[in-house]
Structure formats: C-alpha cells, structure tokens
Amino acid sequence: MSGHSELTTGPLEYRSHEDRMTVLGFWLFLGAEIALFATLFATYAVLFGRTADAPTPQELFEMPMALTMTFLLLTSSFTCGIAIHEMRRGSLKGLLTWLIITLALGLGFLGFEIYEFVHYAHEGATLQSSAYWSSFFVLTGTHGAHVTLGICWAVLLIIQLKKRGLNQMTARKTFVLGLYWHFLDVIWIFLFTSVYLIGMVV
C-alpha cells in the first residue's frame, strides 16, 4: 500500500512493500510448517517399534534407494538455487532452464518414493498394518505430497513466466517457490536421518 517506499534497486522480489510482506508471511508459513512436521516426527518417534505383525523397518529399508532419493532432492535444491541466481541476473532463459531441471529431479524423487511405497506394500507393510507403519507412511507421504504440490506450483509459475516475463510479481512468486523448495529439502534431511538411517540401525 502507498505510504511505504518503493525501492528501485536491490533484488526484484524485495522492491515493493507488498513484496517484503509476502516474503515475511511466507517465512512465517514455513514456521508453521516446521511445527507441522515436528508434530509428525514426534508421532513417528513415539510409535517407533510398534510394528505389530508387520515386517520391521530393518527388514525393508534399503540404503541405495534412500541414498538415491537424497541425492536427487539435494541436487534439485542446488539447481533451484542456481535458478534463483539466474533470476537475479535477469536471465529469464537461465531461470526457466534451471527451474525445469529442478522439476525433473523432483519428479525423479517422487517416482522413487512411489516405487518405494508400492514395494513395501507388497512386502506386507501398508498404512493399515500397524501404528509404526501408519506413522511412516503419513510422515514420508506428507513430505511427498508437499513435493507434488511444489511441482504443480512450479509448472504454474513456468507458464506465468513464459506469459509475462520477469517482473516484480513473477520474481517474487519464483523466489517464494524457491524458499519452499529448499524447505522441503531441509525436511528431507531430517527424514533421511531419523527415519532411514536410524530405522536401518535400530
């Protein structure tokens, strides 16, 4: 709203007062998301070991697959960073290219996750099997759903970027998407450590 200064220099996505509010609002939203995932992690921790008659995580978890998924998502976070960097340089083409690479990596991650879920289901571990497996599927599934949403969001943004080019509003939207994507990456690091690594050892 008027009365607040519009900047003419600095990153495109921070120039108007509205931009700065949006970014702060999104940070707060990520704070709420952290509370949400923290609750899911706590649930997982509490229900750990309650596998009832279903297989245990040691029997099912496989290092290579978890590592591949980690590699894909971490790389996608990196390419997303490059995309934002290209945006700061004012290169729409660079931005789009790296954004699409990010998307592809994200899709790869999702593919592996779906394969993993189906595989576990075949081995007799489903959402319904036991308290532990319920918490496993809901925790990883919530993360997966976030990734899916992020991908759809990115597709919408790519269309908008194509249509409108790089301006203050598209820049802000892209930047916010970047925040979201990095956040999902951070969550995955926790997931990888506390679910897969610990699940394979304990």
Partner 1 sequence: MMDFLLNEFLVTGDPLIYGAMVSIVLVSIAIVFVLTYFRKWGYLWREWLTTVDHKKIGIMYIIAAIAMLFRGGVDAMLMRAQLTLPNTEFLNSQHYNEIFTTHGTIMIIFMAMPFLIGLMNFVVPLQIGARDVAFPFLNAVSFWSFAFGAMLFNLSFVIGGSPDAGWTNYAPLAGPNLNPGPAINYYLLGLQISGIGTLATGINFMVTILKMRAPGMTLMRMPIFTWSSLITSFIITFAFPILTVALALMTIDRIFGSQFFTLTGEGMPMMWANLFWLWGHPEVYIVILPAFGIFSEVISTFARKQLFGYKAMVWSMLLIAGLSFLVWVHHFFTMGAGAGVNSLFSVTTMLISVPTGVKIFNWLGTMYKGKIRFDTPMLWSLGFIPCFVIGGVTGVMLAMAAADYQYHNTYFLVAHFHNVLIAGTVFGCFAGLTFWYPKMFGHKMNEKLGKISFWFFVIGFNVCFLPMYFLGFMGMPRRTYAIEPEWMPLNVVSTVGAVLMAIGFIVFVYNIYYSFRYSEREKTGDTWDGRALEWATTTPVPFYNFATVPEITGPEAFWKMKQEGGTTYDKDNLEPIHMPSDSGVPFIMSAFMFVAGFGLVWEWMVVAIAGLIGILACMVVRSFDYDHGFHVSVEEIKETEEKAREGEK
* b/e code 146-184 from CB counts within 10 Å (16+ = b): bbeebbeebeebbeebeeeebeebbbbbbbbbbebbbbb
The amino acid at residue 70 is: T
**Residue 201 makes contact with partner 1 by CB under 8 A:** no
Binding of residue 189 to partner 1 (CB under 8 A):
no
Please tell me whether residue 117 binds partner 1 under the rule CB under 8 A: no
Closest CB 164 distance from partner 1, rounded Å: 7
- Is there binding between residue 181 and partner 1 (CB under 8 A)? no
Is residue 138 within 8 A of residue 127, CB to CB? The reply is yes
Stretch of 76-84, 128-136, 179-187, 191-199 contacting partner 1, by CB under 8 A: 128-136
Residue from 7, 21, 67, 114 in contact with partner 1 (CB under 8 A) = 21
When asked if residue 165 is in the footprint of partner 1 (CB under 8 A), the reply is: no
Among 29, 78, 112, 192, binds partner 1 (CB under 8 A): 29
Residue from 74, 82, 92, 138 binding partner 1 (CB under 8 A): 138
List CB contacts of 128: < 8 A, sequence separation 6 or more. Answer: 134
CA distance 97 to 103: 10
Rounded to whole angstroms, how far apart are CA atoms 146 and 53?
30
Is residue 5 near partner 1 by the rule CB under 8 A? no
Which one among 109, 132, 180, 181 touches partner 1, defined by CB under 8 A?
A: 132
Q: 131 vs 34, 43, 54, 126, CA distance in Å?
A: 23, 10, 10, 10
Residue 114, C-beta contacts closer than 8 angstroms, at least 6 positions apart:
144
Nearest to 196 by CA among 112, 146, 153, 140: 140
Q: How far is the CB of 161 from partner 1 (least distance, A)?
A: 12
Amino acid at 49: G
124 binds partner 1 (CB under 8 A): no
Min dist CB 175 to partner 1, Å, is 15
The answer to whether the Cα torsion of 85, 89, 90, 92 is positive or negative is: negative
Indicate which single residue of 6, 7, 25, 58 sits in contact with partner 1 (rule: CB under 8 A). 25
The amino acid at residue 32 is A
Residues interacting with partner 1, by CB under 8 A? 1-3, 17, 20-22, 24-25, 28-29, 31-33, 35-36, 39-40, 43, 46-47, 50-52, 127-135, 137-138, 153, 156-157, 160, 164, 169, 173
